[in-house]
Amino acid sequence: MEVYARLVGFFAVCVPVGPKRAWVPRTHGCMANRVPNKLWPILVWSLTALAQTPSISSGPGTVVKWTIEGATRCGMRSRAWKPLKGVCYYPIDLETPVGTRIPISVTAPAKAHYGGIVVEALDYGSEDVPLPDIPQANPSAADLARDARDRAKLAKIFTRPDGPAEFALPLGPPAHPLPPGKAFGAKRSFNGRPAPQPHMGIDYPTPVGSPIMAVARGTVMMAEEMFFEGNAVFVDHGDGLVSMYFHLADIKVDAGQTVAKGVVLGHVGSTGRATGPHLFFGVRWHDARIDPKFLLEQPAKIPEMKQ
């Protein structure tokens, strides 16, 4: 894809004078060149392949799928993983700039297939959250140092090697009951002060004390009280998928513990930076922060690349 991009950039600023002859610049940014005859078949083939490469548009924080018969490997930028039941899924991080073209691929026995995802704008809205007089509303230097230590622990979780998938789609519900959630991707401010990043999960107004459950089998990577997240549990489900549960009233599991789908991790509370009882549920898949709804709903709803 990088070769294609350079070719497109070259042709965008140069124009030919006569067939297979010298190229002169449209702007001062291109030096005149004479293209050797032996390179023309390569240039034509490359541009033709670029024009025929399938693509799909989708927003930040979403997921795209690509189904190729016999798929054995999925590629996205420099990462690669195995398909889930023959389907390749490509998560797009919430903070991916609009206009980015992400190269993707599917390896199958007959041939390798290449495509691209064009990231389009998606408005998640904004909201101001009024916080009561709690430490998270006006953190001290010691509080921020503690949060920095929390981030360092999480970095180790999110960068660890991927194990085999221990889940299938859709995931199970993270709580019971599970009323409609809100606020994924919203640009938030707290008491009028903008947050450093959008809201990375869904807030569910589940009643206090309701059970919070593992959405799939996995290993508990972290289960402790954090400064902003409150009582929090992080579960690694393999294949680069980590689920996150914040603001729990209590924690019923330990780090290193293997949990089955539906096991109670804790109960709904309002610890950490919270205005009242609710569950924050988030997922990070192949290091992309995405809207959990794509994994909680039927896979048929996920946008699909067409050949």
What is the fold, at CATH topology level, of the domain defined by 126-300?
A: Glucose Permease (Domain IIA) (2.70.70)
191-227: per-residue pLDDT in tens? 999 999 999 999 999 999 999 999 999 999 999 999 9
The single residue listed with the structure tokens 């996205």 is 76
Q: Quick one: pLDDT band at residue 43, thresholds 50, 70, 90? A: low
Please calculate the CA angle 236-237-240 and round it to the nearest 5 degrees: 80
Q: Quick one: pLDDT band at residue 307, thresholds 50, 70, 90? A: confident
Query: Is the model's pLDDT at 50 over the cut of 60?
Result: no
Tell me the C-alpha distance between 211 and 213, whole Å.
Answer: 6
Instruction: Work out the number of other CB atoms within 10 angstroms of the CB of residue 221.
Output: 20
Query: Is the model's pLDDT at 67 over the cut of 60?
Result: yes
Residue 174 corresponds to which tokens in the numbers above? Answer: 């993270």
Q: If you average pLDDT over residues 60-84, what whole number do you get?
A: 97
Rounded mean pLDDT of the chain?
Answer: 88
Residue type, 194: P
What residues does each domain of the chain span? 2-52, 55-122, 126-300
Query: Is the model's pLDDT at 25 over the cut of 60?
Result: no
Query: Is the model's pLDDT at 7 over the cut of 50?
Result: no
Helices (H) then strands (E): counts for the chain: 4, 22
Task: Give the right CATH number for 55-122 from 2.30.30, 1.20.120, 2.60.40, 3.30.420.
Answer: 2.60.40
Q: Is there a contact between 142 and 149 (Cβ–Cβ < 8 Å)?
A: no
Tell me the C-alpha distance between 90 and 167, whole Å.
Answer: 16
Q: What is the pLDDT of residue 62?
A: 98
Query: Is the model's pLDDT at 31 over the cut of 70?
Result: no
Q: What is the pLDDT of residue 253?
A: 98
